[in-house]
Amino acid sequence: MIYYLIIILISFSFGLTNDDVLIGEFTTDRLEEPPHKSWFEKGYQEYEVTKKQLKQLKPLAEDLEVKVFLGTWCPDSKEHVPHFVKIADQLNLSSSAIQFYGLDKEKKMPSDKEEEYDIAYVPTFILKKNGKTIGRIVESPEQSLERDMLDLLRPEKSDH
C-alpha cells in the first residue's frame, strides 16, 4: 500500500512541475496567470517602450502578423516576451495577429510547429506581412525589440 502511495505522490509532483511549462498554442491570458504572472507582469510593467521608434513602427505594423515561439522555463523568453507584448499592445496589434507557441525544455511541442518553422532557439519572433516571412528575432534582439522590428519592417529591408 505504501508503495502505491509513493508512486501517486511522485506522479503528482511531476505533474505540478509540468504545469509551469506552457506547451502548444496559447494566448497572453495564460501568461497573466500563476505561475507565469509574476515574471510576465514585472517584465511588462518595467519595460519602457522607446517612443520615437514606436512612432516609426506604427505605420509599418499594419497587417503585421507575429509568431512567437517561447519557453516559459527560458530566461530569454521571460525577459523578452513581456517586452514584445507591451510593444504589440502599444502598436494596437490585434490578438489574432499574434500566435504564441510554448515549447518544452527540448524545444518541442505536440503539433511539430517548431519543426515546420525551424525553431532552434527561444524566444523566436517571426514577423510576417501579407503572408510572407520578412524576418526573425532570435533569442535576444541585436539592439532592442523596437529597433530590430523597425529594421525588419522598413520597406527597403523587406527583401531579406
Q: What is the pLDDT of residues 134-151, one digit of tens each?
A: 999 999 999 999 999 999
Residues above pLDDT 90, as percent of the chain:
82
Interatomic CA distance for residues 63 and 78, integer angstroms: 26
CA count, 13 A, side-chain hemisphere, 38: 3
Q: Is the pLDDT of residue 119 over 60?
A: yes
Q: Is the pLDDT of residue 15 over 60?
A: no
CB distance 85 to 44 below 8 Å: yes
The alpha carbons of the chain give a radius of gyration, in whole angstroms, of: 18
Q: What is the mean pLDDT of residues 88-104?
A: 97
Tell me which CATH code domain 21-157 carries: 3.40.30.10
Read off the DSSP letter of residue 33.
S
Task: Render pLDDT for 39-95 as a digit per residue (tens, 0 to 9).
Answer: 999 999 999 999 999 999 999 999 999 999 999 999 999 999 999 999 999 999 999
Sketch the domain layout of the chain as residue ranges: 21-157
The alpha helices in 25-112, defined as continuous H runs, are 28-31, 37-46, 51-60, 75-90
